[in-house]
Amino acid sequence: MASISIKSVWKYYGDTPAVKDLNLECLDGEFVCILGPSGCGKSSTMRMLAGLEHITAGDILFNDKRINDLPPKDRNLAMVFENYALYPHKSVYDNMANALKIQKVDKATIDKKVKWAAELLELSPLLDRKPLELSGGQKQRCAIGRAIVREPELFLFDEPIAHLDAKLRAHMRSELKIMQRRLKTTMIYVTHDQLEALSMADRIAVMRDGVLQQVGTPSEIYNQPANQWVAGFIGEPAMNFLDCSLTESNGHLHLSHNAFSFALNAEHIAKLNGSAKEHSQVHMGIRPEHVTISARATPEHPIKGEVLVTELLGGDLLVEANVNDTRVTIKTDPDYIADMGDTCYLGMDTSRWHLFERESGVSLI
Amino acid sequence: MKDQLTEAFVSTKAIFRDGGLVIDAPAGARNAALSNRFYFYLMMPAIIVLAAITLYPFFWLIYMSLHTVDLGLADDTWNNLKNWTRLGRDRKFQEGWWLLLKYSSLCMFFEVTLGVMIALILNRSRYEKILVTIFLMPMMMAPVIAGLVWYYMYNSTFGWYHWLMQSLGILGDKSILGSSSTAMIGIVMVDIWQWTPLIILIVLAGLKRVPRDQLEANMVDGAGDIRNFFQVTLPNLYPFLLIAILLRFMDNFRFIDAILVLTGGGPANSTKILPTYLFDVSFSFFKLGRGAAIALTLLAVTIVLGMILVRVFERPSSTRSNSGGT
């Protein structure tokens, strides 16, 4: 097992930086997801960890040992590729046995390990098949099998389930998580799918344009996003952002939008820590599930809006409403009945909003 | 060409069937039938031309092989398969086959080995494009000219190749073509010089198609460069090597120009590979019927070898990528 630390790592392709000053720690046995949109540098990071890409600057340490210049074969890690990268001319068995054969492990041990992995991944009846004769899910399990028979110190997964259909993907998510818990191997998993990251990882590292935005547990990333970009990237449907300003009247701080105004409570003010003045222009962010909707004005639903469209998603109903030319998405019960053009009243859970500085997007509350 | 046409045919059909264009199935089927006929008409001119220049001569060849053909002086006469039965007793014919196989195998072995090695080097070179152009030059030369150039290089009085080999003590006073024990090597070298570039070209194209993630997966699995070559690169190159070897095989079976210039089949018939003998029979002795029979044996063996090669190499896994899909 290995702990990994990435220290001030840079990656340039020609003059284009792909990874900028990345610092990331990964504890022994931890499942870390690197999450970000395509082109954010997550795959470059993984390839540098695997030794497939030269590190332009900085260090990568495995168990406090610098491995920058070690070739992939000496790093004792296993990688699962996005396109599986199975050897098409070899059977499933030989694909899985490949690494052990290279290590010159004796035949009986190879056989035992491959059979064990096949059992774990339910591949036993398919061991004689060629990759072309496998379905997507089977190929993917074969690729994982190839990785686990080696019992490496580190697993690298590069969007391994991106090509599976939705149902199989959900199944594989839980399978992977169970497998990682069972093997207790350090795992770094790259994905652009927030659902994968949130559901599987111990910790998530969110990247954008080569820069690490935030590292934290799934709930930290979801509930306390470090900036507006992370807040908008995580969560489906995306967080609502409203242009607001912080104003002071009668000695009270107010958050004002052109349709409403809230007084800030003591907790908010404490978090703002007196910086309200410099940050009078803010974005208020609130997730659709923290906005409530009602057909009639009540003290809890003071903000008037107009229903634009509704979307029924089985157990949830998404309502998109227009509040003084700002679009707000609300996630509510499917029994709420609304038609296009209906007047509605919205309430916001003031304990769940976020304030972001409008220019920089830095989180204030 | 014929194959391409059939393929186009089949794929058009597939588009109509699988492309999701068809909403009303019966009408779609009618459409498909209509278009197929339309495509068939489009192909007719090509089919007619092909038939005229390949099928007609082919049947004419069979006809000739069954008759005594006397170049128009007398009528062709049926000779009770004499052209064929004579082949069984014809020592030069059997020798010709043996020499042809020896010649082809030697050429193929060195050309493929050298071609793959040079292609691997070029593939990693920064100056790939320029170097490929330079390497391709021998291939652009007419085989007769190539033969002549080497003929002079081999010359024991002023040829620089002969001078070099003599200086190194490898050759004596006699030219490499002058002795029946070395003449075969001489003509093989010309073939290697001229046709290795073709292998380089095809293998280079193949190398571009070797999936990078498979190479990387193997590296992560712990393979070094050499193992990676044999485990990933080479299997992925099989279809390309097949094309190269097939092309060279067919070339060698009709190879004659450079040999005629270099040795004319000598000395002491040591380089009289079958196509050269065929040339002698048909166009020196003008035994066209017997020549036709020899030509047909060549054709038959070419077809059989081609089929074996396709069978050996056509493992489904090596011709298609395994990426993606569910």
Return per-residue pLDDT of chain B as tens, 326 residues: 445 545 544 444 444 444 444 444 555 566 666 778 888 889 999 999 999 999 899 998 998 888 888 776 777 778 778 888 888 888 889 999 999 999 999 999 999 999 999 999 999 888 988 999 999 999 888 889 999 999 999 888 888 888 888 888 777 778 888 888 888 998 999 999 999 999 999 999 999 989 988 999 999 888 888 999 999 999 999 888 888 888 888 888 887 888 888 888 778 888 888 889 989 888 888 888 889 999 999 999 888 878 877 776 665 544 444 433 33
B100: CB partners within 8 A, 6+ apart: B252, B253, B273, B274, B275
The nearest CA of chain A is from the CA of B308 a distance in Å of: 19
In angstroms, the CA B250 to CA B241 distance is 14
Q: What per-residue confidence (pLDDT) applies to A288?
A: 92
Confidence label for A286 from pLDDT (cuts 50, 70 and 90): very high
Q: Is the ipTM of this complex over 0.85?
A: no
B320 touches chain A (CB under 8 A): yes
Q: What per-residue confidence (pLDDT) applies to B324?
A: 36
| A84 contact residues in B (CB cutoff 8 A) | 322-323
What is the residue whose two structure tokens read 């300003």?
Answer: A245
With contact defined as beta carbons under 8 Å apart, do A318 and A331 qualify? yes
Domain ranges in chain B with CATH number 1.10.3720.10? 92-319
> Mutate which of B313, B319, B322 to test chain A, going by most A C-beta atoms within 10 A?
B322
With contact defined as beta carbons under 8 Å apart, do B263 and B155 qualify? no
Give A293 or B3, the one with higher predicted confidence.
Answer: A293
In angstroms, the CA B189 to CA B137 distance is 16
Domain positions in chain A are 4-233, 240-357
Mapping DSSP to helix (H, G, I), strand (E, B) and coil, where does residue A362 land? strand
Q: What per-residue confidence (pLDDT) applies to A115?
A: 92
How big is the CA angle at B106 (ends B100 and B112), to the nearest 5 degrees? 125
Q: What per-residue confidence (pLDDT) applies to B26?
A: 55
Instruction: Give the one of A99, A139, A168 whose C-beta lies nearest to B222's C-beta.
Output: A99
State yes or no: pLDDT of A58 exceeds 60. Answer: yes
In angstroms, the CA A86 to CA B128 distance is 29
A299: CB partners within 8 A, 6+ apart: none
Q: pLDDT tens, B54-113?
A: 989 999 899 888 888 877 677 777 877 888 888 888 888 999 999 999 999 999 999 999
B138 φ, ψ (degrees, to nearest 5): -55, -35
Region A201-213: mean pLDDT is: 93
- The CATH classification number of A4-233 equals 3.40.50.300
A148 touches chain B (CB under 8 A): no
In angstroms, the CA B110 to CA B294 distance is 28
CATH 2.40.50.140 fits domain A240-357: yes
Per the CB < 8 Å rule, is B219 touching A81?
Answer: no
Q: Which of B206, B208, B232 is nearest to B219 (CA)?
A: B232
Sign of CA dihedral A266, A270, A276, A281: negative
Per the CB < 8 Å rule, is B326 touching A132?
Answer: no
Beta strands in chain A (DSSP E): 4-13, 16-26, 31-35, 57-62, 65-66, 77-80, 154-158, 186-191, 203-208, 211-216, 240-249, 252-256, 261-263, 281-286, 291-294, 303-313, 316-323, 326-332, 343-348, 354-357
Q: pLDDT tens, B13-45?
A: 444 444 444 444 555 566 666 778 888 889 999
B220 touches chain A (CB under 8 A): yes
Beta-carbon count within 10 A of B21 CB: 11
Q: pLDDT tens, A148-184?
A: 898 888 999 998 888 888 888 888 888 888 888 888 8
Which residues lie across from A5 on neighbouring strands?
A25, A61
B93: CB partners within 8 A, 6+ apart: B87, B274, B277, B294
First-residue to last-residue Cα distance in chain B:
34
The token pair that represents A358 in the structure block? 């409008």
Q: What per-residue confidence (pLDDT) applies to B156?
A: 82
How big is the CA angle at A107 (ends A106 and A109), to the nearest 5 degrees? 70
In this structure, the strands spanning A154-158 and A186-191 are parallel
| A77 contact residues in B (CB cutoff 8 A) | 220
A194: CB partners within 8 A, 6+ apart: A35, A233, A234, A235, A236
B325 touches chain A (CB under 8 A): yes
| B320 contact residues in A (CB cutoff 8 A) | 88, 132
Confidence label for A267 from pLDDT (cuts 50, 70 and 90): confident
Q: What is the mean pLDDT of chain A?
A: 88
Q: What per-residue confidence (pLDDT) applies to B117?
A: 94
What is the residue whose two structure tokens read 């052990």?
Answer: A100
Q: What per-residue confidence (pLDDT) applies to A357?
A: 86
Q: Which of B277, B283, B312 is nearest to B297 (CA)?
A: B277
A316 φ, ψ (degrees, to nearest 5): -125, 155
B217 touches chain A (CB under 8 A): yes
If you ran DSSP here, which 8-state letter would residue A122 be given?
A: T
State yes or no: pLDDT of A96 exceeds 80. Answer: yes
Per the CB < 8 Å rule, is B220 touching A82?
Answer: no
The nearest CA of chain B is from the CA of A99 a distance in Å of: 5
- CA–centroid distance for B83 within its chain: 27
Instruction: Give the one of A102, A136, A168 whose C-beta lies nearest to B227's C-beta.
Output: A102
Class of domain B92-319: mainly alpha
